[in-house]
Amino acid sequence: MASAQERDSFKIAWSIYAGWIPWMYIEDSGIMKKWADKYGIEVDIVQINDYIESINQYTAGEFDGVVATSMDALSIPAAGGVDTTALIVGDYSNGNDGLVMKGSSDLKDLKGAQVNLVELSVSHYLLARALDSVGMSERDVTVVNTGDADIVAAFNTPDVRNVVTWNPLLADVAEMPDANMVFDSSQIPGHIKDLTIVNTQTLADNPALGKAMVGAWFELMAVMATDSEEGQKARAFLGEASGTDQAGYEAQLAGMKMFWEASDAVEFISSSEAIEAMDSVRQFSFDKGLLGEGADSPDFVGISFPGDKALGSTSNVKLRFDPSYMQMAADDKL
């Protein structure tokens, strides 16, 4: 178990997605080592092929941090009693998640239909928001749990007519004959956030970890945001690493609101929009039983935000959006 104490070596887990794969470049390029050396620590960035498994391992104390969406950070470690801090708010999905219908572009035609998606994932959440936008609810459809590895092939069969998924799978589905993108995450900005989360106690005992990770992340962001030779090299590397190429990776980035600068991330997570989005996410999580058997309301797990704002129980805060390290990066104080 990762116990609370001052330490000099740490392990962070990540899995492949456009918003998280920069950690691979940070590790391979030596940026992480440079920042870790600056603070006299070691930070091992470890790839885990199974996204949910990586969060489970973090929750079990096998890693000091992990990448996760805001919904999964709430429903797995926080709901499991592990006090967790969102150290880096990297981006939010801004078109990278979507609902595609075959033969119709009207959401209301979903009434009585089946929708294939990864159950209890952000795709499930997106479906709930899409239905809500036309006065419908999940009771009006039948959700068919379909693994992300199978969703493109499923949509290629005559029987599967509606899917919700994320890029690059979404792009493949949307290119099929008679496919219509009817709702995507750009219609719910800020709701599907990509985070790097760490154990709150570990961070409190080891501020060097927070400084090194945030410093390394935003050093790469500053490069990736440019069309410099170094920026293009980084995007080409990340495209190849994620099974596409530079153009493919840049297309995925286009479906995200990236926070290239720390100040933008701080401004977003301090906004009322971010809190309202998280309120919607926690309501969905409670409705789906994702906050645990002991949760009698969405308020069971407390979520704290900058400026002493909170959602839910202030005596059981387990997910903290603490921008203090990103603020240090913004102020050039790392």
Exposure on the CB side of residue 63, measured as CA atoms within 13 A: 25
Pairing mode, if any, of strands 65-69 and 9-14?
Answer: parallel
C-beta atoms surrounding 250 within 10 Å: 16
Instruction: Tell the residue number behind the tokens 């006065």, with chain if given.
Output: 135
Residue 2's contacts (CB-CB under 8 Å, 6 or more residues apart) are: 61, 62, 63, 64, 199, 202
* pLDDT on residue 4: 57
pLDDT confidence of residue 293: 86
d(CA 281, CA 170): 22
> What are the C-alpha distances in Å from 192 to residues 37, 146, 185, 188, 196?
33, 20, 8, 8, 13
Strands 142-145 and 9-14: unpaired
Yes or no: say if 200 and 304 are a contact pair by the CB < 8 Å rule.
Answer: no
Total residue length of the chain: 334
Crossing angle for the helix pair 272-287 and 122-132, to the nearest 10 degrees:
100
Averaged pLDDT in 10-residue chunks for the chain of 334 residues? 74 94 98 98 96 95 98 97 98 97 97 96 96 97 94 97 94 95 97 98 97 98 97 96 92 96 98 97 96 94 97 97 98 97
Q: Evaluate whether 89 touches 117 at the Cβ level (below 8 Å).
A: no
Q: What is the pLDDT of residue 313?
A: 96
Query: Encoding tokens for residue 169?
Result: 């799978």
Q: In this predicted structure, what is the pLDDT of residue 1?
A: 46
What's the predicted TM-score (pTM) here?
0.93
Residue 193 phi, psi dihedral angles, 5° rounding:
-95, 140
Quote the CA–CA distance of 17 and 241 in Å, as a whole number: 10
pLDDT on residue 6: 81
Helix axis angle, 207-224 relative to 229-241, nearest 10°?
A: 110
Residue position matching structure tokens 């994702």:
290
Check: CB of residue 213 under 8 Å from CB of residue 35. yes
pLDDT, tens only, 151-191: 999 999 999 999 999 988 999 999 999 999 999 999 999 99
Q: Which of 46, 148, 155, 53 is nearest to 100 (CA)?
A: 155
How many angstroms separate the first and last alpha carbons of the chain? 29
- Residue 225's identity, in one-letter code, is A
**What is the radius of gyration, based on Cα positions, of the chain?**
20
Q: Hey, what domains does the chain have and what are their CATH numbers?
A: 9-92+192-330 (3.40.190.10), 97-187 (3.40.190.10)
Q: What is the pLDDT of residue 246?
A: 96
| Distance between CA atoms of residues 254 and 265, nearest Å | 17
